[in-house]
Structure 1
Amino acid sequence: MKGSARQKLDQLNFMEQVRECRDNGYLLSSRKIGSGAFSKVYLAYATHERLRHNPKLASDLRGKRHAMVAIKIISTAEAPVEFSQKFLPREISSLNATYKHLNVVQLYETYQNSRRSYLVLELAARGDLLEHINSVSDHRCRPGLEEDEARGLFWQLVSAVAHCHSSGIVHRDLKCENILLDDRGLLKLSDFGFANRSGLKNSLLSTFCGSVAYTAPEILMSKKYNGEQADLWSLGIILYAMVTGKLPFKERQPHRMLHLMRQGPTFRPGMSPGW
């Protein structure tokens, strides 16, 4: 398809999405704030009519004193069947199970048709943690966050992950890009596309999920793994990235990653002993 034809089709699709959102009580803006393989996330506004009919949404936005939300639009017509029938329902189920934790992004409602699914989510307007680390590093002219800030953000992240685990949910894709910040600077854990219910306490999983740089060694070795323990490994990687401004192990190939892991991470001089 030629560029102009593709652009025209995209515009028609977007206008269709605008209509579908309006029919469900939301005014979709053209500001795209995120994207995935089969999804795009846009800034949107809840109408007064929608606020009257959705107590969950009205209660949360009353505290925020605005009517802005994020709407994640998933193209189920283009996505593989496994995604639509397995991973998307898990994402919705996980967000419903972890509802009302201050540091987990809130799912207000969903609606769908034969071509798309819409997730109406809490807006985290300040972007993701990776962007924040890079911005602060540039401002400080030194990589990483101040230790006090990293400590406060990490405490919020641990609280969110502990809440997920206590609700029987393992995230399996913890990384800086999936951690958002709202306009008050509060951390919001997001993107539960690979989440799963952990089931029995010591049950093992086998699906390779997440990004190699944040993945636990047992997963890289293609072994069955404990989902909660794999999440804890990823937390350690994120903490390292917060305080150093880089990842501790960075290789594309799993066997090279395992070699770096055996050597262990390095820390810059001057870091407080508590780390």
Structure 2
Amino acid sequence: MLNALKPLGGGAFGSVYKAIDPVTCEPVAVKVLDPRSTNHKNFAFRLQQEVTMQERCCPHPNVCQIRQVSTTASSSAIIMDFSDTTLRHVRDLVLSEEELRCVMSQLLLGVHHIHSLGIIHRDINPRNILLDHAGTVRIADFGLAGRATPDMWLGDSPDRVVTENYRPPDMLIGASATE
């Protein structure tokens, strides 16, 4: 049994807390899904897809590892590796050119790995880029992730799901995707 210690953040489908794993005594992140979202008609499918996509990308040093999924009749939680902060929380810090290179290099390694598996994350934004005290960057939250398909960016495909303010430039101007 995990006891949540500190709220870390939240999103559309739940909240994330820091907790201590009682077996390893290590900190973990627990994404507790909002009970109201469990009533959503696609909830079970979306939860399974998020977990499947994220687990398929692991192990990789730049992808957040899922340790366990806990689902009961009244709640669901995803227990993951803990990172100290997100890129969103450090974006106002002045980083040296070397630190920026290190962050971007790790982020691109993670994205490359995800894409090499035929998966598109579709929600790369500062809230989903985690950083730990050692400077390791990890990509998290695969809730919008999906399999890459040749026509996923064309027209009004239901697969055109992305975070509003972090869309690719071609989507921002309404142009077709380029290779």
Show the counterpart of 1:172.
122
Deviations 1:97-121 (A, max 9, x none): 0111001111011010122111010
Q: Check if 1:41 corresponds to 2:16.
A: yes
Q: State the distance in 2 between where 1:223 and 1:89 align.
A: 32
The runs of 5 or more residues in structure 2 that have no matched partner are none
Larger mean Cα displacement after TM superposition, 72-81 or 84-93: 72-81
Structure 1 residue identity aligned to 2:22: T
SS of aligned partner of 1:192: coil
Deviations 1:45-92 (A, max 9, x none): 1123xx5xxxxxxxxxxxxxx511111111244345245133322210
Cα distance, 1:225 vs. partner? 5.0
Q: Check if 1:89 corresponds to 2:41.
A: no
SS of aligned partner of 1:164: helix
How does the TM-score come out when normalised to structure 2? 0.86
CA contact (8 A) 2:54 2:66 kept: yes
Larger mean Cα displacement after TM superposition, 82-91 or 38-47: 82-91
CA contact (8 A) 2:129 2:138 kept: yes
Cα distance, 1:42 vs. partner? 1.1
Please state which structure has a larger fraction of its residues in strand: 2
Identity %: 28
SS of aligned partner of 2:37: coil
Task: Tell me how large the CA RMSD over aligned residues is.
Answer: 2.3
Show the counterpart of 2:91.
133
CA contact (8 A) 1:204 1:224 kept: no
The runs of 5 or more residues in structure 1 that have no matched partner are 1-21, 52-65, 138-144, 230-275
Show the counterpart of 2:37.
78
Q: Check if 1:99 corresponds to 2:58.
A: yes
**Counterpart selection for 1:115 from 70, 74, 87:** 74
Q: State the distance in 2 between where 1:222 and 1:80 align.
A: 34
CA contact (8 A) 1:204 1:225 kept: no
Q: Which is higher, the Rg of structure 1 or of structure 2?
A: 1
SS of aligned partner of 1:105: coil
CA contact (8 A) 2:38 2:44 kept: no
Show the counterpart of 1:247.
none
CA contact (8 A) 1:77 1:115 kept: no
Bigger relative contact order, structure 1 or 2 (CA pairs below 8 A, ≥6 apart): 2
Q: Check if 1:204 corresponds to 2:152.
A: yes
Q: State the distance in 1 between where 2:36 and 2:120 align.
A: 27
| Superposition map of 1:155-170 within 5 A | 155-170=105-120
SS of aligned partner of 1:151: helix
Q: State the distance in 2 between where 1:69 and 1:90 align.
A: 21
Q: State the distance in 2 between where 1:222 and 1:208 align.
A: 12
Structure 1 residue identity aligned to 2:164: V
How does the TM-score come out when normalised to structure 1? 0.58
Q: State the distance in 2 between where 1:194 and 1:222 align.
A: 21
Paired residues in the alignment total 175
Q: Relative to 1, partners in 2 of residues 1:84 and 1:76: Cα closer, same or farther, differing over 3 Å?
A: farther
Q: State the distance in 2 between where 1:110 and 1:225 align.
A: 35
CA contact (8 A) 1:45 1:68 kept: yes
**Counterpart selection for 1:219 from 168, 171, 174:** 171
Cα distance, 1:177 vs. partner? 1.7
